[in-house]
Structure 1
Amino acid sequence: MLSTNALALLPPPSTDPAPLPDIADGEEINLLARAAWSDPFNPLKVKFELWENSQPSEQDPEQIQIFLGTVEVGKKVWTAPINANDLFVPIPADRLLEGEHELHYLVTIWSQTTQGSKVFTITIDKNSPLLATDSTLIFPPEVSPPNSITAAYLADPANNDQVLATLPDYSGKKVGDMITWYWGSSDTDIEVVDTLTLEIDDITGVLPPLTFTGDMIRTRGDGKRYAHYQVEDRAGNVSLASERIELQVQAAAAPRNLPRPKVMEASGAGSTVNLDPINARQGVTVEIPKTNDIYPGEKVRVFWGREGKPGYYVSDWSELPTDRLFPVSTAYMPQNMGHSFPVKYQVQLIGGGDEQGIDSETLTVQMNMVQSNGLPYASCASPSVSVSNFPPAGLDVTLELKWFWILPGQYVHIWAKGVSGIQLVAEFQIEPGLMVTEDNVGDTITWKITAEEIAPFKIPSELTLVTVFSFDDKETWMDEDEYRKYFLKLEK
């Protein structure tokens, strides 16, 4: 009979389920998950490849022996050709010893020749993490009983809208351990807050704190709350739950007294004020009233105008200036002329998102339209024109794009009207809507009135050229008035 040592080693075995992937800085090689071996109705399978020259029979059976190191933990015998689905040996959990082992097997074929395999290193972990005798989370003294977690504590910039709890050291901690912590309204609740996985620095140094965010605390409400944690190692062994700590929570933000702002250039008192465009020609200043309900470190932003409309402005979040003043530039003034619109400010809670703020009371601003006599109007070089001697190239109509508060995005509308021989009033468009741009500001624009456009009007008579403006992207136009009309006499 040939000796085992004279034959090449067979391929190493494998396990079903397969081991967990190795992790950086982890000491456990090919760690088997607890679920891979703990179910008595579904034991771990050690699998292997079929060897050469296999011919088992009733007279000459074949067998395989499974070893952890030198200890035999499983065996199977065949007396008939081996089916591919039968290339495994189930190993009961009580045969799988704690620790790192060399898993291998020994085959004895029908000729009584034996042949060993290469080894496959596996690690079996059956021990749960052992929490400290006093496993209670350690909270900062400011919130520990008999104190409470308050809105003021969370709002303090030093606390960053969160509460940090110290995790007591525990026995058997390893890289890959997962800490899960809980926050509930009774000592039996198991509402998860979050999880974290330990890394090498956590094992060799101080365990990381557990974070209870202000958002979570506020969402789960005020009153008595209970915090605890549990540790699960990488194999899936779970510690006992830690001791619960009872905490009193008063985290709901108290109503804020945030009085309406003041627009320093406006006149009037109360919730509605008037703003003369002349007083806002350099922009305006919004003043935040003095109040004890804006806390150090909180940020503020100002809202000006009609949301979604031209001239709407929201300042960036910023800490409240010492003078409590926020400027709003000229660029947001003319679009709001002729409208009533709200002005308010918001206070951003510490740790809140960009869209999370507490609204102040609202100030309504009624902004007048600029006086018409401060605006230009279209005109001709001469106050009269002879129809019989009408300029062949047309009569020039000009307008200089220069006026109070001229900004790109404004519009000019010009038309002419008068008495015709057929109907009481006739009119025609000279400019339906010229947009002011950065390129044409200050230019003198010229249009032409043609002889054909003049032909329907009664001669002699007077043609009226009307100029109106829109400052809000053509949402509204100024009313027609006498200040922006030019009268052209039509003569024979």
Structure 2
Amino acid sequence: MATSNTSPSGKRSTPAKRSKSSSTRNDMVFYLPPIIPALLMDVDDAPSNQLPFAATYKPLRVEFPKWLFSDPSEEDPETLTLYMEVLYDLASARTAMRVPVASKTWTAPIAENDLFVEVPTRYLRDGRYKYHYEVTLFNGDLTPSKELIINIDTTPPSLGQTPLFSFNPAVVRNTLTDAYFQNNDQQLIGALPPPRAEDIPPGFEGETLPYIGAAVGDVVMWYWSQDPAGNELVGRRELKTVDLGKPLEVSFPADFIRQSGNGMHFPRYEVQDRAGTALQRSMSVALNFEGTPVAARTPPSIKEASGNAFSSELKPVDASNGATVLIPASAVIEGAKTRVYWGAPGTAFAYETDTPVSPGSREYTIPKAFIAPHMNKVVEVYYHVQVEGEKPSQIHRTAVQWITGLPRTQSDQIQDGLLVLDTLSGGPATFTIGTWSHIATSQYISAWIEGVERGNVENAVILPIATEMEVPSEDTTITLGSLDKASLEKLAPLYQFRIHVRVSFDDKESWRVFPFVDATLVDSER
């Protein structure tokens, strides 16, 4: 990496051209890794940097932080080349193959929105890959970046040759009765069939797998319908580490079965892996219910969600001012109130109300503060007409998606991607972040800088900015914290650092990663 020169005026001039061979490993600066916006948010115990399956159908956009001392021209262009190293290619079982996959050359000052290349789809195959890039500056200096390892999964899981629920205990003559529920904790337990020994892939012999390809982050959904292909959702479960290495079982509550009425029903399940490959569907089992049905009223619906009578998906962007629960006209009884429930009463972030949006209306508002904690989860919604003898309605289950359009951290002390230590003589560097959809003071935010150590760039440095701080306001820019000059001096000059932010919407049970910000530390502009 070239060092800055000083002109008589005190301003930084461009570095002199030198031969590429003059750079040695000991004095080389490494840029930050490439950035792939399409990558999924990391989850605990699952492979990091997972590329969604949908992103493999089009050229993959790879972005780069702005580098220092850039001054391309027609005479002295600058070039970036992106390299891919095959750590493991599932299609061919190849390893350790390094190839250039994209390149771009600039002959004029580089615009921020032009710092990207696109990787052709032929390189986006099943496997584990290492990406890094190299920049040749206008003066001939060549600087490599640190590496980014990504995982690509285009193969859906396999449910086996006969994917059918089995039940524990077994259902005699395929008929459920009141006695069955009374003897089995008011539920029907369905077990996914484990793979046959001959279907287990090499290296997994002797292990118990829920199904072939089961992994942390997979989602299992199960249904109880009057049609073999029905989609009356009973439950949704995202697999954790504890779910692997043993048979997988799910529960059909007796109340759900009773409210569906007597007669033949068809339980089945679906599996969707974390990458989003083709949805895998089981076959349906025919079960008859001959018991005491619950004459429950039809379920409510969510005005802003899309789906069917029993299940739906809710995008928070469509409920920026809250969600609207709509009860059916048949549930309106003159003189009686109706109480609407969002989540099971007594559970975290549940909400209930008996006040419609206006007198006589069938619509009830769920405040936005009770939507965000249920993101990436399924929330049960139902109502109860408040008259003697009435039972709660059937349940509508809505899967709340993640919010999008998240803000980035900002600092007045970072200008054009540079943080200059000499400018901090008057005070520390302060870091702020704007508001986001469904922000609430019940949420928590953490922020920190990740860089390398001054004097020993082999060591990582973490500088906390905010640690599990309560969100102080919902409608103004949030001050995350400050770092003084002495703290920032721990970072190596001329090396890039990264500002990380994450937010918990559910009382620290889980965390959503926000977009990071890259900058370069310099001691002085002179």
- TM, length-normalised to structure 1: 0.47
Larger Rg: 1
TM-score, structure 2 as length reference = 0.44
